[in-house]
Structure 1
Amino acid sequence: MSLFIGLDVGTQSVKLVAYDPQLRQVVASHGRPLELIAGDDGSREQHAEWWLAAIRACFAQLDPAQRQQVAAIGVSGQQHGFVPLDRNGAVLAPAKLWCDTSTSVECGEIMAAVGGVQRCIELAGNPILAGYTASKLPWTRKHRPDAYAQLATILLPHDYVNFWLTGERWMEYGDASGSGWLDVRTRRWSPELLAATDPDRDLGQLLPPLVEADASFAIAPAIADELGLPRHVRVAAGGGDNMMAAIGTGNVAAGLLSMSLGTSGTLFAHADRPVVDDAAGWAAFCSSTGGWLPLICTMNCTVATENVARLFGFDSRDGDAVMAGTAPGAGGLVMLPFFNGERTPDLPHARGGLFGMDLGNLTRGNTYRAAMEGATYSLRNGYDALRAAGLGFEAIRLTGGGSKSAAWRQMVADVFGLPVDVPEQAEGAAFGAALQALWAHGRAGGSRQDIAAIAREHVRISPALSARPDPDAVTAYDEGYRRFLSHLDAVRRWYEKPGLGAGDPGLGSA
């Protein structure tokens, strides 16, 4: 009997699931929280060692007998992070994360150097948006010159965990496409974008080899011994958390829309060809299955509801009860939940705002609902771009921490007007990483089974968690969504320029 481990190295925690494919069951699940270093300049960082300490702790919680049954490991990681290594493989500085907006000036500099936003899309399929890896390198050159001078390898968060597990350095196409340097059409690094990012050195020499999604590598013997694992364990290519969540929700074929309600919010779909938007309405990423993954990402999702819960002194797990008695529209409250700045819409300098307050509606229930509605409307705003491009979907597969909320599941069904289903495995990214490990392990042993067949066999829906649109609520949310868009249009001009944001005297009334 073999077990397949999925590790999800997220922003808030590291999660481990152990999956038994014969029983079709997750036999163990463990997690460890992570700290976040947040700066007033928009910086969001973590020490890479924190990820490894959390992984060690998760494996320590796994029964020793189960550890001896592990056959392969797949790693899911938060996208866009920047882990700088020296020539000996030592980390040179804290890892700047996907939600770091301190490098937004560098985004503009890179795109200007290459000839503008449209030229950037022509070269790679995507502009360089706030949080993408590319902008973090010139920021490091300016603000951490010692780390820049010693820089020998650029890794993404999941790449670094793979490097620790195996001693090998590689990237796969899905996560690499979130760096900003990969031409998603050709699956090759763009020499022009690399040169625009740093004209003084060849960044291609700092990037590890690109590997296929079904690749795998042997675990390092010392790490196997440290974690109590067999030395024959394979480590799969892994991928970004959204790419792994696509696998974990069964979104490996056309016609299905996956939504992840985590710290960030994401919408993504499978495509068998590059799906590039000239207006950059979505991210044109590769998948971690050999295909492509058009993706909408908002930088503020459960971070909004959790901040409100913290403000009012309750746990977000009790949020559904707190919302009881409130109605769609939150009594007229509208929240723009841009606590981390925002990517969709592209407003990295934005801040959160609460509007429509009066003497009767400012309750904790309405405020919490406004946060949940605002996060959902932000995703709907991105979804409208997909629909405008002619893409259509019949159902939504929901994952992430927010999917545990019955109120949020119903809200998504009503706001989008689509049926919502939730896979039995709520941790879609970790479970997807386990399924990718199962796929890669089989390929290494000579199996030709494809990932779509594995997903059909192992991703199961939980009927009790499904939600269907309520016509009356759909109408109410349509009105609420229009109010949200009107407030968004009104504040957009405040935040479109780098000089505006928190502390700007012109925003005192916001």
Structure 2
Amino acid sequence: MSNEQTVFLGIDAGTQSLKLLAYDAVQKQILHVSAAPLELISRDDGSREQLAAWWLDALRQCMGELPAEIKARVRGIGISGQQHGFVPLNKAGEVIAPAKLWCDTSTIAECEEITARFGGSARCIDAVGNPIMPGYTAPKVLWLKKNKPDIYSELAHILLPHDYLNFYLTGKIFTEYGDASGTGYLNILRREYDRDMLAAIDPDRDLLPLLPPLLEANATVALGQKAAGEFGLPPGILVSTGGGDNMMAAFGTGSIAPGVLTLSLGTSGTLFAHCENPAIDPQGDLAAFCSSSGGWLPLLCTMNCTVATELTRKALGKSIPECEALLEESEPGAGGLQSLPFYNGERIPNLPNARASLHGMTDTNMTAGNQYRAAMEGATFTLRRGLDAFARAGQQFKAIRLTGGGAKSPHWRQMVADVFNLPVEVPAQQEGAAFGAAMQALWACTESGDLPALVNEHLAVDASLGCVPVTENVSAYKALYQNFLDLLGKQYPGIQ
């Protein structure tokens, strides 16, 4: 690595914002972070969409804020993107419809149709590793065919959000196994597109030629001259394959070797860990994804994490510091209040039509502190089901690495430690997905053979933010979690 070009950019295109991080691999220092907000199109039918042009506008804003001195030293770029989105392109490489996102639940009928054609949910899990879920890319493709046939007839390329940003930067169409495994049509067992599943999506058209080639996790593609000129970047920069935001957060939290469990408290909640072999949950709660580091990344995703706390906070008319103070006035169990925080429906458990609800209200427990704690507990209990799923897949852990916006809350960190009965560690680099994308770019550009050693060299844990389970809270939350499961089963029979 030359002394001049030691900077790696990590770009994370999330649901609420696009972030850019510049990391100096020699100084082991984050030099710059910028962010640009993103809008969201929401409709009553469950549609959640964004325009791909918004991502580019946000990227231009963030690149514009990056100092020229740092730009001159960039060696590599890694892209992290929200998973499962569908970006349709025509033959000219133009986006021809809004991108349907991971949180879109308008494709329930399409999921059922694809699953029936393929032979049922159990066969989906056995054959490709995952059931077909609302939010995955596969049903979005069928939705486009059924609802916008004129646009579908122009469809020439099926890209994911991070694929599209890579395409814009390089002029090349490609993807990698991690993000592609969240589409529903990648066979994660054989690590190839599944022709039978593609036929179940559209029996009338061969979709395989529309899919991007799969590159290995440590591959690179040269930055295109057009993008280099637009963003004022020097020649010779390489773009790594990147990956889905959870796959990049695995780099950013150290979940690139077995034994590390990462919990991300973001808009969605995710729980994931690296595995050397496919980890299949027979109940289908655990998504058997590939990683973006060469292995597998079994993962559980919920759609309502900080969504629940933020909606409650806004309804209470409080700031985040005020809500943190309110938690001091409340105890585990929130005075008997129980929240099922399914504001956007839910992915796991698979309840796309569910709605949020609050239970156990009395004239004495409806305090602001109890309401906020109930929202936080409901989101945490929903994620806690993931630990059960990992156990079914034969995995156990000694600690949790916590990331995402919710990890900034001391009360939430302690709640996670108590509910999961595991010590909590917090990486010093808070922008997990963006930092992870920079780490993947560093790995790809340096061709290091020992990825865990490379990541551990650059990843730091902030000991001041860690916490351990409190014995009396663990005991209380064990009973409260069972109460949550009982309530969930009563409200939605068949859900365990």
TM-score range, shorter chain: over 0.9
Q: Match of 2:381?
A: 377
The 5-angstrom pairing of residues 264-279 of structure 1 reads: 264-279=268-283
What is the aligned counterpart of 1:89 among 82, 89, 93? 93
Q: 1:317 to 1:84 in 2, by over 3 A?
A: farther
Work out whether residues 131 and 184 of structure 2, in 8 Å CA contact, stay in contact via their aligned partners in 1: yes
The 5-angstrom pairing of residues 355-504 of structure 1 reads: 355-443=359-447, 448-493=448-493
The 5-angstrom pairing of residues 2-151 of structure 1 reads: 2-151=6-155
Q: Match of 1:313?
A: 317
How far the C-alpha of 1:388 sits from its partner, in A, is: 3.3
What is the aligned counterpart of 2:242 among 238, 245, 266? 238
How far the C-alpha of 1:137 sits from its partner, in A, is: 0.8
How far the C-alpha of 1:317 sits from its partner, in A, is: 5.4
Q: 1:291 to 1:494 in 2, by over 3 A?
A: closer
Q: Judge which range, 406-415 or 143-152, deviates more.
A: 143-152
Q: Which whole-Å CA distance do the structure 2 matches of 1:216 and 1:340 have between them?
A: 37
Letter in 2 for 1:485: L
How far the C-alpha of 1:493 sits from its partner, in A, is: 3.8
Q: Match of 1:352?
A: 356
How far the C-alpha of 1:495 sits from its partner, in A, is: 9.9
Gaps of 5+ in 2: none
Q: Which whole-Å CA distance do the structure 2 matches of 1:294 and 1:461 have between them?
A: 23
Q: Which whole-Å CA distance do the structure 1 matches of 2:159 and 2:327 have between them?
A: 42
Q: Which whole-Å CA distance do the structure 2 matches of 1:495 and 1:148 have between them?
A: 36
Gaps of 5+ in 1: 497-510
Work out whether residues 305 and 316 of structure 1, in 8 Å CA contact, stay in contact via their aligned partners in 2: no
Q: Which whole-Å CA distance do the structure 2 matches of 1:406 and 1:53 have between them?
A: 34
Work out whether residues 75 and 236 of structure 1, in 8 Å CA contact, stay in contact via their aligned partners in 2: yes
Q: Which whole-Å CA distance do the structure 1 matches of 2:365 and 2:92 have between them?
A: 58
Q: Give 3-state SS (helix, strand or coil) of 2:492's partner.
A: helix
The 5-angstrom pairing of residues 277-316 of structure 1 reads: 277-316=281-320
Q: 1:23 to 1:17 in 2, by over 3 A?
A: same
How far the C-alpha of 1:231 sits from its partner, in A, is: 2.1
How far the C-alpha of 1:340 sits from its partner, in A, is: 1.1
Q: Match of 1:159?
A: 163
How far the C-alpha of 1:217 sits from its partner, in A, is: 0.7
1:253-301 CA distance string (max 9 Å, x none): 1111111111111111111111122321300000000000111111110
Q: Which whole-Å CA distance do the structure 2 matches of 1:115 and 1:237 have between them?
A: 33
Q: Which whole-Å CA distance do the structure 1 matches of 2:67 and 2:325 have between them?
A: 35
Work out whether residues 97 and 131 of structure 1, in 8 Å CA contact, stay in contact via their aligned partners in 2: yes
Work out whether residues 399 and 426 of structure 1, in 8 Å CA contact, stay in contact via their aligned partners in 2: yes
Work out whether residues 349 and 495 of structure 1, in 8 Å CA contact, stay in contact via their aligned partners in 2: no
Q: Which whole-Å CA distance do the structure 2 matches of 1:366 and 1:494 have between them?
A: 29
Q: 1:164 to 1:315 in 2, by over 3 A?
A: farther
1:155-190 CA distance string (max 9 Å, x none): 000000000111100010000000000110110111
Q: Match of 2:251?
A: 247
Q: Match of 1:213?
A: 217
Letter in 2 for 1:180: G
Q: Give 3-state SS (helix, strand or coil) of 1:267's partner.
A: strand
Q: Give 3-state SS (helix, strand or coil) of 1:16's partner.
A: strand
Aligned residue pairs total 492
Work out whether residues 347 and 495 of structure 1, in 8 Å CA contact, stay in contact via their aligned partners in 2: no
Q: Judge which range, 134-143 or 475-484, deviates more.
A: 475-484
Q: Which whole-Å CA distance do the structure 1 matches of 2:228 and 2:319 have between them?
A: 38
How far the C-alpha of 1:494 sits from its partner, in A, is: 10
Q: 1:252 to 1:495 in 2, by over 3 A?
A: closer
Letter in 2 for 1:424: A
Q: Which whole-Å CA distance do the structure 1 matches of 2:332 and 2:348 have between them?
A: 23
Work out whether residues 10 and 437 of structure 2, in 8 Å CA contact, stay in contact via their aligned partners in 1: yes
Work out whether residues 134 and 180 of structure 1, in 8 Å CA contact, stay in contact via their aligned partners in 2: yes
How far the C-alpha of 1:479 sits from its partner, in A, is: 2.1
Q: Which whole-Å CA distance do the structure 2 matches of 1:390 and 1:175 have between them?
A: 24
How far the C-alpha of 1:154 sits from its partner, in A, is: 0.2
Letter in 2 for 1:82: F
Q: 1:143 to 1:494 in 2, by over 3 A?
A: farther
Work out whether residues 265 and 300 of structure 1, in 8 Å CA contact, stay in contact via their aligned partners in 2: yes
The 5-angstrom pairing of residues 313-332 of structure 1 reads: 313-316=317-320, 318-332=322-336
Work out whether residues 259 and 398 of structure 1, in 8 Å CA contact, stay in contact via their aligned partners in 2: yes
Q: Which whole-Å CA distance do the structure 1 matches of 2:351 and 2:157 have between them?
A: 30
How far the C-alpha of 1:449 sits from its partner, in A, is: 3.1
Superposition misfits of 4+ residues, deviation over 4 angstroms: none
Letter in 2 for 1:171: T
Q: TM-score w.r.t. structure 2 length?
A: 0.97
What is the aligned counterpart of 1:169 among 170, 173, 179? 173
How far the C-alpha of 1:69 sits from its partner, in A, is: 1.1
Q: Which whole-Å CA distance do the structure 1 matches of 2:85 and 2:483 have between them?
A: 34
1:17-73 CA distance string (max 9 Å, x none): 111111111111111111111111111111111111111111111111111111111
Letter in 1 for 2:328: A
Matched, 1:259 2:259: no
Q: Which whole-Å CA distance do the structure 1 matches of 2:11 and 2:143 have between them?
A: 29
How far the C-alpha of 1:372 sits from its partner, in A, is: 0.7
Letter in 2 for 1:450: D
